[in-house]
Each structure stands twice: as C-alpha cells, then as structure tokens.
C-alpha cells in the first residue's frame, strides 16, 4: 500500500505543466505516493455545470494532502473563484507563503527569509459586496447612515470587512505554532488598528492574547503601511508575519518580489484537517502548453507538502535540489537563465531537479 494518498488538481493555463513537474520531483524522493488526478475550473464547468465538482472537494477531503495548479478566474464572467471556493469548502484558514532568497535568482536582496501567514477566510474577501444603486445597496446605505450617523454617497458600492475574535485567534495560534515547529524566533502581527479599531483592533488584541501563551517566541506588531516601508528598507528584522486576509495577499506579493518574483514563490492553504499546496502565481494563460514557465514555485510548494506530512528529510532534499539547479544556472527556464545560457523547458528543469533529489 502507498504511504500517502495525494490529490493532484491540474488547474488550467500553465497548471497541467507545473503540476506534472511537481509530481516528477515528489516521486523522485522515493516516497510511495498514490495520486488522484482531478480537474476543476472553467473547462470543467462546460462539462459538469460547475467549476468545482463535489468529487474534487471530496478527493481533497479524503487524501493526506493536495497539490494544485493555478485556475483561471475569468474576469467579469460571473464564475466564482474556484480557489476561494475550495478554501471555504475545506475551511483552509491559514495561507502560508514563505519567501527565501535563492542564489541564482535575480533580485535586489540576497538574505531574505520571511514567512507570511495570512488569514484566509474573512476580511474584505468574505464576498459580501453590494453593487451601487442596487436595492440592497440602497437599503444597506440607509441602515448604515442611521446606525453610524455618517454620510455615505448614494452612488457608493459597499464591501463588508468582517473580522472575528475566533478567526483572528486561530490564525494567530497557527502563526505561533508554525514559529515554534519551524524554529523561528519572532511573530509580527500586522494591522491598521489605529484607524480600524473594531476590526483590525480586534485582530491585534487576539494576537496579543495568543502571544502571551508563547513566551519562547518574541512578539511585536506593525501598522501595515509602516511594515511595507520597513520590509523594503530592512527586511532582515522580520521573521513570521501574521496578517488579516487583504493585507496578507498584498504583503505576500511584496515579499515574493523581494526574493525575485512569482516563479519561485510557494504557498500552502492549511486547515485543521486538510491542506492544499499551490504556487502564488496564476495560470499565466499566454504561456500555456509551451513547456516554458518556471516550475520552481510549485516544486517548492511540494516541499512544503512534504513538511506538512512530516517528511522533513525529503523536503530538505527537494529545497536543496531546487537551490542547486538554480544556482548552477544551466538547466533553468527563461526567467532564470543567465546571459548567454540557453533556457530549458519546464519539464527539463523539473527533471534536472528530480535527478538531484533522487541522487
């Protein structure tokens, strides 16, 4: 019998190529995986009437972990984001996005090692929005003006930012547990509590309370705008950052930029029972089917998957192999190839990494 059952959601655009690349590398660790390959997204919608069939959610629910390619969310099509729907269906409340400098990746900085822990279920991403002039917007505006005594222009759209003690406490606890298990020294809570007292203020209060239970981990907080400036000026002072959903989304792109961009930025969506590992980047449709893009971000997400399964040694081998292949600069994709070196394809880079993992 296999050691682990993994669901592989291929995704669309460059998804099938990068998931195949990650599979080659995970199989090269020598661990015996049983793969359940499933599809979701706009093409599936044409066949099954929904972009996220129930059997995809069920496959993830019943496997040890899942790895996922990016899925296109057509702008303005009315199709709900499969990515958001999956996180909600499985209550994957923690989005973990490590950013670590790799030699050979062109970047303005060379000693970055920061982990973003983003709350994944609430905040302005809760999906509670009202279109301007719609009857619900008109009603909500009337009610809000009455309750707050403040003026809102009648032509306003509205979005709601729910932040709860429950979700804030659980993401703060996740960040501290992550810090403890991964030998990190400090957690920084990021917020705008000076302005948003009852939402971000509540998030900060929950983080402070949880911090008191972890005297071995240093705790501090930063206002989000100040954090952005300090990340650019002195990123070495930060370690684990814990943030509400929207700031986490934005700041994790900033930290990906510090280490050289989306091609090398892994991620994980983790709940109490299930986890899905995926790169930060999207489906890059213009590169689809060209065997061209960098598979490193999803391969490094595969290393996070191995750590989640407790396979620390194999995870270390994968991370080292990615670092070595990038540093050597010979079997790398177009975005990493040094001047004068011909780039290789997605598959060839994955095979070079797999060969080092298996060696």
Which residue ranges make up the site for ligand NAD (CB under 6 A)?
A: 70-73, 83, 262-263, 278, 281-284, 293-294, 297, 335
Strands 129-130 and 94-100 turn out to be unpaired
Residue 144 to residues 126, 179, 181, Cα–Cα distance (Å): 19, 40, 44
CA-based nearest residue to 255, from 95, 123, 134, 138: 95
CB of 146 to ligand NAD, least distance (A): 37
Helices (H) and strands (E) in the chain, counts: 12, 12
Between strands 4-9 and 94-100, the pairing is: unpaired
- Closer Cβ to ligand NAD, 335 or 351, answer by number: 335
CB 75 within 8 A of CB 96: no
At its nearest, how many Å lie between ligand NAD and the CB of residue 302? 14
Dist CA 112 CA 101 (whole Å): 5
* Least Å from the CB of residue 74 to ligand NAD: 7
Nearer to ligand NAD, 293 or 326 (CB): 293
Q: Which is nearer to ligand NAD, 146 or 286 (CB)?
A: 286
| Least CB distance to ligand NAD at residue 40 (A) | 10
Residue 93 to residue 116: CA distance in whole angstroms: 13
Q: Measured at CB, which residue is nearest to ligand NAD? A: 282
H-only helix segments in 149-295: 165-181, 200-211, 224-233, 245-258
Rounded to the nearest whole angstrom, what is the least distance from the CB of residue 244 to ligand NAD in the complex? 19
Tokens of 30: 């020598």
Map tokens 């400090």 to a residue: 186
Inter-residue contact 184 to 176 (CB < 8 Å) = no
Task: Give the catalytic positions in this structure.
Answer: 125, 192, 225, 249
């Amino acid at each position: 019998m296999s050691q682990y059952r993994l669901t592989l959601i291929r995704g669309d655009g460059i998804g099938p190529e990068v998931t195949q690349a990650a599979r080659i590398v995970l199989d090269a660790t020598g661990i015996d995986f049983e793969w359940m390959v499933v599809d979701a997204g706009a093409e599936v919608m044409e066949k099954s009437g929904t972009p996220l069939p129930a059997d995809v959610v069920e496959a993830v629910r019943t496997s040890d972990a899942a790895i996922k390619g990016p899925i296109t969310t057509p702008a303005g099509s009315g199709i709900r984001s499969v990515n958001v729907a999956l996180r909600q269906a499985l209550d994957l409340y923690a989005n973990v996005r490590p950013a670590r400098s790799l030699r050979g990746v062109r970047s303005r900085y060379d000693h970055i090692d920061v982990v973003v822990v983003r709350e994944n279920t609430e905040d302005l991403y809760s999906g509670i929005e009202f279109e301007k002039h719609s009857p619900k917007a008109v009603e909500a505006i009337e009610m809000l003006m009455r309750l707050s005594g403040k003026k809102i222009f009648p032509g306003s759209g509205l979005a709601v930012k729910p932040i709860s003690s429950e979700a804030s406490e659980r993401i703060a606890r996740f960040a501290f547990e992550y810090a403890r298990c991964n030998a990190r020294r400090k957690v920084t809570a990021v917020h705008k509590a000076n302005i948003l007292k009852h939402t971000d203020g509540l998030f900060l209060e929950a983080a402070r309370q949880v911090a008191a239970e972890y005297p071995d981990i240093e705790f501090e907080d930063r206002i989000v705008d100040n954090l952005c400036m300090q990340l650019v000026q002195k990123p070495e002072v930060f370690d684990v950052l814990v943030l509400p959903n929207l700031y986490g989304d934005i700041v994790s792109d900033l930290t990906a930029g510090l280490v050289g961009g989306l091609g090398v930025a892994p991620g994980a969506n983790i709940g109490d029972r299930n986890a899905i590992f995926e790169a930060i980047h999207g489906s890059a449709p213009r590169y689809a089917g060209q065997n061209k893009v960098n598979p490193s971000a999803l391969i490094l997400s595969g290393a996070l998957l191995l750590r989640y399964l407790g396979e620390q040694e194999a995870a270390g081998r994968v991370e080292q192999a990615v670092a070595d292949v990038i540093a050597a600069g010979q079997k790398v994709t177009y975005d990493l190839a040094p001047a004068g070196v011909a780039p290789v394809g997605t598959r060839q880079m994955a095979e070079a990494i797999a060969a080092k993992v298996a060696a």
